[in-house]
Amino acid sequence: MRLFSVVVLYHPDQEVLDFVKSYASDQNPTVVVWNECAEGDAGKLSSAAGVALHAMPSNVGLASALNIGIADAFTRGADRVMLLDQDSRPGLDIARWLSEIADDAARDDVHPALIGPTLNDEKAGGVVNFADASVGEYQNVQRLATSGSLIDRSAYEAVGPMWEDLFIDCIDHEWCYRARDKGLAILQATTVTMNHNMGDAGINFLGRYKPIHRSPVRHYYIVRNTLWLARLNHVPKAFSLTQVAKLAYRIPVYLVVSSSTRTTALNVGRAICHGLFGSISDPGQNR
Mean pLDDT of 107-124: 89
pLDDT at 114 over 80: yes
pLDDT of residue 202: 63
Tell me the C-alpha distance between 87 and 105, whole Å: 28
Higher per-residue pLDDT: 190 or 208: 190
Domain ranges in the chain? Answer: 3-196, 212-277
For residues 225-235, one letter each, b for 16 or more C-beta atoms within 10 angstroms of the residue's C-beta and e for the rest, the string is bbbbbbebeeb
pTM of the entire predicted model: 0.94
Q: How do residues 243-287 score in pLDDT, each as one tens digit? A: 999 999 999 999 999 999 999 999 999 999 999 999 999 897 765
pLDDT at 200 over 60: no
User: Exposed, middle or buried by CB within 10 Å (0-12, 13-18, 19+), for 249?
Assistant: exposed
209 sits in the region (left: phi over 0; alpha: psi -120 to 50; else beta) called: beta
- Tell whether the torsion through CA atoms of 202, 205, 209 and 212 is positive or negative: negative
For residues 257-282, one letter each, b for 16 or more C-beta atoms within 10 angstroms of the residue's C-beta and e for the rest, the string is ebeeeeebbebbeebbebbeeeebee
Distance of CA 119 to the CA centre of its chain: 13
In this prediction, what percent of the chain has a pLDDT beyond 70?
92
State the distance between the two ends of the chain, measured CA to CA, in whole angstroms: 30
Tell me the C-alpha distance between 136 and 171, whole Å: 28
pLDDT of residue 122: 64
- Judged by average pLDDT, the poorest of 32-36, 78-82, 154-158, 278-282 is 278-282
Q: How do residues 212-249 score in pLDDT, each as one tens digit? A: 788 999 999 999 999 999 999 999 999 999 999 999 99
Mean pLDDT of 128-156: 91
Q: Class assignment of domain 3-196?
A: alpha beta
Tell me the C-alpha distance between 215 and 200, whole Å: 13
**pLDDT band, residue 129 (cuts 50/70/90):** confident
- Please give the mean pLDDT across all residues of the chain: 93
pLDDT at 123 over 70: no
Mean pLDDT of 79-89: 96
